[in-house]
Structure 1
Amino acid sequence: MKRILVPLVCSVFLIACTQSEDIETEEQSVENEVEPVKTLTASQDDIRFVVGWLNETAILFVAHTDTEDRLLSYDLQTGDIHTIFTTSSTISEVQVHPTAEQLLVKTADDPTEAILHILDHAGTPLNEVSVASSELEIQWNGIDASQILITAFSDDWSYEIMRYDANNDTLVAVELPDPFPHWLGTEELVYIEDANVWKQSLSTGEKTTLANNTNQFHSATDRVLIESFEGEQVRYAVLNSTGEEKNSWLAEDDAFVMDRAVLLNENTWMMTVTNQTEMMPTSFLVKIEDGEEVKRQELPEGGTLDCEGNKCLTGYSLDTWIDIETGETVKWLEIGRVE
């Protein structure tokens, strides 16, 4: 899953599995939902950011209470809040693994070192690794949860890329010309160099060109979605790990470019696209099946994207989810002012 760091100017006072006077839940009737959806109402002070979906009924967020940061889950059907992880350090990033029931939590006590905690969904520690850096870029392998690609930046923006293997708790250096590589399968990486998308084997170092004239790409498990320019048109292509093109399509409007992309299944992508040429950019949520656009819905704002089942969290604060099939929007988080 992509990193979701969405600071909110809001607050919530939380204790594990309990609610304070500042938190209220309210039922919403949602079409096609078996259970009513409960809205979390919080005061404006302590919620640091919303992470995204833990599963189809629960959303993760990070809150600060007293001297601690807490990773919590909120159940939309019951209104229950559970503490998964607590630390006196600052939680700056959380990732949810797409296939294994594991979480990655990045914490830091000082600006020169970060600690990566690997937990199960109950919060039980599985692994921990410390990395010296001023900034970290983390790519968790979507197929094999034991493999993590880490780019550690220094103050002068020089960088070192490392592969962390949780099976034997080792860090191994990886030589690449781009500090922002992505996984493709379990043993290959993809990255952009001089507008070309390259695939490189970790075991042999062999390089292969996947695409030219590339603007950007998104990878997920063994698929890579490439946005490139074909004359005056914007072209999208989905390739598998061997470089075979599975399907492709041209953008309906060349003014729109991809912001985020999420692979729902082998043949389905959800994308947010934005017209960056307008004074007030317009964003849409787009569903692509087998290379064809099947749904498009205008969004109130751009921002991040996180999907689970038939629902997608969107926007800068991730306080609203959209039903992919019906287009219905539900606001699960309401922020109130501190009295």
Structure 2
Amino acid sequence: MKKSNVFLLITLLVGLVFISFGCSEEKETPKKTAKEVQGVQIKTKEFQRVVGWLSKDSVLLQTKKSGVTYFEELNIYNEKKRPIFNTKESISEVQISPDYRNILLYSAESAEKATMRIIALNDGSTVASRSTKPLTTTFYWNDESPEKIMFVSYSPEWNFQIENWDYTLNQLDKIDVASPFISWYGDNLVISNNKDKPDDELGNLYLQDIRDNATKNLIVANIMQFAVHDNVLLTIEKNSDEKLLYDFRTLGFQNFFSYNAAREYDELGTFVPYFDTN
């Protein structure tokens, strides 16, 4: 091949490359269309509450009509509703499981009987249920083991009893903890704010393995409140009569952040230790 022909061929190829590159540069990258949250019209008398998120697109909606309570999955972008469960019983508590597969319903059937139910979110079937007395009860779902639910039941005299329900085995175990102010701290670990007297402002935070109720370890002394969220332990401590110390600790109890905040009181002078771990 002659040198002139080779040079012409190379020039032509280089030109085509630049033309192709220029065309690709001119093409605009498609812009993603942002989703818009849609307003949903619900009669005020029927609306009960939004229990919480089920996914990044949907929430659990609780409504009541003609004496029947309905639970539905509501898509916040297209307004579509998917029925999950309904009951005529009076609902006392609803919680979504940490893995977003089930919900816990605590309802009263009568003045003598209440029921704890685990309802599957995918089809509304009853995974497990347990009958109990209609007592004031608080529930604590285990993040690491969603099949475990710890609950504190209060008698009319405000005596309390703590139990752990493994609903996959339908097994109920009593937990020997000296305080009703508790939280899960792992698969089998519980932390509690123990006070010498119920009316005491300050207590001591203990760590306990529910498989060995005799062993307790002091974590933090003289705290007012605590909360566990994800991998963080938050304690509220009394810094002075006017200020509080908010301490943030790792799961290994190492402090990594703290700050002071003014104490807040209501109109009657009662201390309001409000905080939200969300």
Work out whether 1:200 is the aligned partner of 2:215: no
Pair member with larger Rg? 2
How far is 1:177 from its partner?
1.5
1:280-301: CA deviation from partner (whole Å, max 9, x where unpaired)? xxxxxxxxxxxxxxxxxxxxxx
Unaligned runs of 5+ in 2: 1-31, 196-202, 268-273
More displaced stretch, 154-163 vs 94-103: 94-103
CA separation of 1:304 and 1:71: change in aligned 2, threshold 3 A = farther
Aligned to 1:238: 248
Report the alpha carbon displacement of residue 114 of structure 1 after superposing the two structures with TM.
Answer: 2.4
Q: In the TM superposition, what is the alpha-carbon distance from 1:240 to its structure 2 partner?
A: 4.0
Aligned pair count? Answer: 231
CA distance in 1, matches of 2:208, 2:133: 26
Displacement of 1:278 in angstroms is 7.3
Q: CA deviation at 1:101?
A: 2.1
**Aligned-partner Cα distance in 2 for 1:33–1:179:** 49
The superposition leaves residues 57-115 of structure 1 with CA deviations (integer Å, 9 ceiling, x where unpaired) of 21222111113111122211001122211112122211112234221121111244321
Letter in 2 for 1:38: Q
Provide the residue aligned with 2:225 in structure 1: 216
Quick check: 1:62–1:72 contact (8 Å CA) kept in 2? yes
For the 8 Å contact 2:108–2:134, the answer to whether it is kept is no
What is the CA-CA distance between 1:131 and the residue it aligns to? 2.2
Query: 1:167 — aligned with what?
Result: 168
Whether the 8 Å CA contact 1:184–1:224 is kept in 2: the answer is no
Distance in 1 between residues matched to 2:132 and 2:209, nearest whole Å: 24
Paired-residue identity, %: 19
Distance 2:231 2:187 in 1: 8
CA distances 1:197-252 after superposition (whole Å, capped 9, x unpaired)? 111111112111111221211113554211112356532333344x431512113x
TM-score, reference length from structure 2:
0.75
Name the SS of the counterpart of 1:37 in structure 2.
coil
Alignment of 1:185 onto 2:186: yes
TM (norm. structure 1) is 0.62
Distance 1:159 1:111 in 2: 19
- Which of these residues, 243, 255, 261, is aligned with residue 262 of structure 2? 255
CA separation of 1:178 and 1:113: change in aligned 2, threshold 3 A:
farther
Per residue, is there more helix in 1 or in 2?
2
Q: Which residue does the alignment assign to 2:82?
A: 82
8 Å Cα contact 1:143-1:221 kept in structure 2: no
CA distance in 2, matches of 1:137, 1:63: 22
Matched-pair contact (CA < 8 Å) for 2:98–2:142: no
Cα pair distance change 1:91/1:192, threshold 3 Å: same
The answer to whether the Cα contact below 8 Å between 1:184 and 1:223 also exists between their aligned partners in 2 is no
Residue equivalent to 1:53:
53
The CA RMSD measured in Å over matched residues stands at 2.5
Matched with 1:135 is 136
Query: Residue 213 of structure 1 aligns to a residue in which SS?
Result: strand
C-alpha displacement at 1:165, in angstroms?
1.0
**Following the alignment from structure 1 to structure 2, what is the Cα–Cα distance between the partners of residues 62 and 305?**
22
1:321 maps to which residue? none
State the match for 2:27 in structure 1: none
If asked which structure has higher relative contact order (CA below 8 Å, sep 6+), I would say 1
Larger strand share, 1 or 2: 1
Asked whether the equivalents of residues 54 and 100 of structure 2 are also in contact (C-alpha less than 8 Å), the reply is no
Gaps of 5+ in 1: 1-31, 257-275, 280-302, 308-339
Residue identity opposite 1:234 in structure 2: L
